[in-house]
Structure 1
């Protein structure tokens, strides 16, 4: 029995796409928490040792190797110097201390700060707290970008799912004029997902990811940085329109949600014609998300 469970765990790690996404979005749900299958491996190892089962121990090599191959490299440290440092943070529309949050993010000394869930009432506090170090900023709807470098050609990006009615603006694109050249920066906040009785509800998120993926694919500038609360992990097939064309972080788990006990990184930094050698979580602010800081190295 333990050997069979070990084999199943190994297969799920190595081939999560074997789990269908319909009905109930089970495939995406599994992929959202894929690293946590490592705990299953540890549990099975303990039981195998307790029962002194050589067969189970041998079978556990499959999930152990699969997990190490998928996630072992995330523990390595990046020894190089980044060309840019960026911070991504969903600041929460219930944040009681926007000014304090802004100051905390600036302490990481990033070149770019991307924010989501910006309320009109809180926006002046963010602007004032960041003005000295980040003189350039653009806001569209509830998302914004602050930069040490000049910004031009800013515009909203339409990523609204068809079923969403009324005003809904959660996408922004701007050109960042860095010392290394022009970069198209995208800031996005994809719709939330929910675990319900009927399964993993992610249809709106997936549709929004498809729209964002099309916009980035049509981007004329070669170098792109996407920063956003994407409400999905890089392993989730729902983000395939983005992960299929962009580079994801090479090192670091940086679980960002929820703040009380982070179990997944749904705040992402992805790039084109650049790499993200390191991503890490920053200390908690007044949000239900942790900020993440990423090193970016340009090609």
Structure 2
């Protein structure tokens, strides 16, 4: 290459205009124009911001979501705590898009979730308690009822409530729990085992609980030998006075694309159970059982107006109980009236598809 050719190459490389003409890259004016044409951080991610605002509004207004379409409101409320998982997903997308608008919009669902469930992040339990109660759906398909009974007895509970027992399993539980619990009552598929005396045990068939009341509210008889009995009431005699104990296994819930959340039988039983407890003469009441629903579900508003959730008052975390392999919802409950929950927790997994729940209560 001659000296003149080297000089021309140097001039071309130093000249942005010549560089642009030769196709080597954009000129400075073009780069500046391109930078000005790109949306800024407050204009990017508007779709993400809209999703964030919608998420927050759903959590804040879940009670206003109608149930007329496939029980959509109850379905949302059943899994409401899990809506918080959308926040980190949206946050990651907002940071990737470098969208200040989306990040600010995420404040709404964060505040909404914390207002609903922030109290469950810490611990509300404390030592003490006059009585320990345990509830467990032992599962009709439980392959190890003896091991389940031993695990429950090892909990040291004063009162055990078992649901979904088969006739064959009842015999197993009666034998395995006889030493630790001298008092027990079993009607249908539910039962109570207690270290303290029991009395006035009667069936409340949750599957037809509505039919237990005549047109004027009078009680109607129920066949105590029926296998369809899924709820009972009994009185536990303590040195501090009587305690009314209800054990219930409400109707199952089904989710399918055509019907949505199918809850009719469960909802009717929950309302009837709430009316029964409202008429209870004994001041101190404990409801134990598999209610097949979370206490966020509006279907239980009447019941929660009568009773307090031990988990919400004195529990650690959400206390999810089902399915036992990977719990996603808390459908096994301990609800109280006239006594104070001191602590609430989950017991180790058994052969059932539900986790046992426990609580200590005091007068």
| TM category, shorter | over 0.9
TM-score norm. by structure 1 comes to 0.94
User: 1:279 maps to what in 2?
Assistant: 344
User: 2:304 maps to what in 1?
Assistant: 243
User: 1:212 maps to what in 2?
Assistant: 273
Give deviations 1:210-239, integer Å, cap 9, x for gaps. 111111111000111000100000101112
Give deviations 1:229-264, integer Å, cap 9, x for gaps. 000001011122211211012233111111121100
Give deviations 1:9-29, integer Å, cap 9, x for gaps. 112222211211112011111
Size of the aligned set, in residue pairs, is: 296
CA contact (8 A) 2:139 2:164 kept: yes
Higher helix share: 2
Please say which of residues 6-15 and 89-98 is displaced more in the overlay. 6-15
TM-score norm. by structure 2 comes to 0.78
Larger Rg: 2
Please say which of residues 271-280 and 229-238 is displaced more in the overlay. 271-280
Measured in 1, the distance between the counterparts of 2:109 and 2:137 equals: 34
User: 1:5 maps to what in 2?
Assistant: 51
User: 2:178 maps to what in 1?
Assistant: 131
User: 1:196 maps to what in 2?
Assistant: 256
Measured in 1, the distance between the counterparts of 2:267 and 2:193 equals: 27
Measured in 2, the distance between the counterparts of 1:8 and 1:276 equals: 36
CA contact (8 A) 1:247 1:275 kept: no
Find the partner of 2:79 among 18, 33, 46.
33
SS in 1 for 2:273: helix
User: 1:59 maps to what in 2?
Assistant: 105
The 5-angstrom pairing of residues 85-96 of structure 1 reads 85-96=132-143
Please say which of residues 117-126 and 80-89 is displaced more in the overlay. 80-89
The 5-angstrom pairing of residues 1-299 of structure 1 reads 1-77=47-123, 78-161=125-208, 168-197=228-257, 198-248=259-309, 249-250=311-312, 251-252=315-316, 253-298=318-363
Higher strand share: 1
CA contact (8 A) 1:101 1:286 kept: yes
Where does the alignment leave 5 or more consecutive residues of structure 1 unmatched?
none
Deviation (angstroms), 1:167: 5.3
Give deviations 1:86-124, integer Å, cap 9, x for gaps. 111100111121111011111111111110111111112
RMSD of aligned alpha carbons: 1.6
CA contact (8 A) 2:230 2:249 kept: yes
Measured in 2, the distance between the counterparts of 1:83 and 1:38 equals: 36
Deviation (angstroms), 1:168: 1.6
Measured in 2, the distance between the counterparts of 1:243 and 1:195 equals: 24
